[in-house]
Amino acid sequence: MTKNNKRKNQRCLVLELTVQIEEIISKTLGLILEINWRESESLGYKSSALGFNQKVRIIQDIKGLDKEIVKKFDALMFIRNKFAHVKEVNSFETLDLVSNNATQIKRNLHNWYSKEGDNFENEEEKNLNYFIRLCGDTQDYLTKISKEHAYKKGFALGQKEADQRIVDELLVELREIDGGDVIIDKILAKLKEEFEK
């Protein structure tokens, strides 16, 4: 494979992985906001949809992401944007040519993702592998947010159902005792009065 073809493949890989992550971000936001993300004006595929950066910032606002994961999302967005919008950037090597921030981003990738026993043929392969690890890390984090949200929602729903069953059972028991219907009527009248205020 020629060097030019390898670089085209790198660009395609970077864009493919980040498109997948952006879809996961939209799904996560849809879950949190309880909307159908595909049909949403702001999360779906319409021209009015928010950009990658805005979606990440909304998750940050809602979930209060820690500084480390914010830096990781920022690195991901930086790399994605350069590969997507700058013609000359088709490899991690050329990323340095168009941005002074690239060196720091690469340093961060190394600090976050280097592992003992890593054996890469060259810097390009190393940086590409670190980028892939970054993508996996951010996907895992978004999945974690979704699972935690679903768990909390399920727990709250279960609690609400349990509370309703207790109320239903109490009503049955109250109706069984003398004057129970009068007590229930008083409670309902009091609640109605409070809601009307």
Spell out the domain ranges in the chain: 3-149
pLDDT computed for residue 38 by the predictor? 87
Evaluated on CA atoms 122, 91, 12, 68, the torsion sign reads: positive
**Looking at residue 15, what is its pLDDT?**
93
Q: What is the per-residue pLDDT across 128-144, written as a single tens digit (0 to 9) for each?
A: 999 999 999 999 999 99
Range list of H helices, the chain: 3-33, 52-63, 67-85, 92-98, 101-113, 123-176, 180-196
What percent of the chain has a predicted confidence (pLDDT) above 70?
95
For 69-128, what is each residue's pLDDT tens digit? 999 999 999 999 999 999 989 899 898 888 888 999 999 999 999 998 889 889 999 999
pLDDT-derived band at 5 (thresholds 50, 70, 90) equals low
Tell me how far apart the terminal alpha carbons of the chain are, to the nearest angstrom. Answer: 76
Residue 144's Cβ-side half-sphere holds a number of Cα atoms within 13 Å equal to 9
Are the C-beta atoms of residues 48 and 42 closer than 8 Å to each other?
yes
Residues 146-162, mean pLDDT to the nearest whole number? 78
Q: Round to whole Å and give the CA distance between 42 and 44.
A: 6
pLDDT (average), residues 169-177: 75
For residues 32 and 24, give the distance between their C-alpha atoms in angstroms, rounded to a whole number. Answer: 12
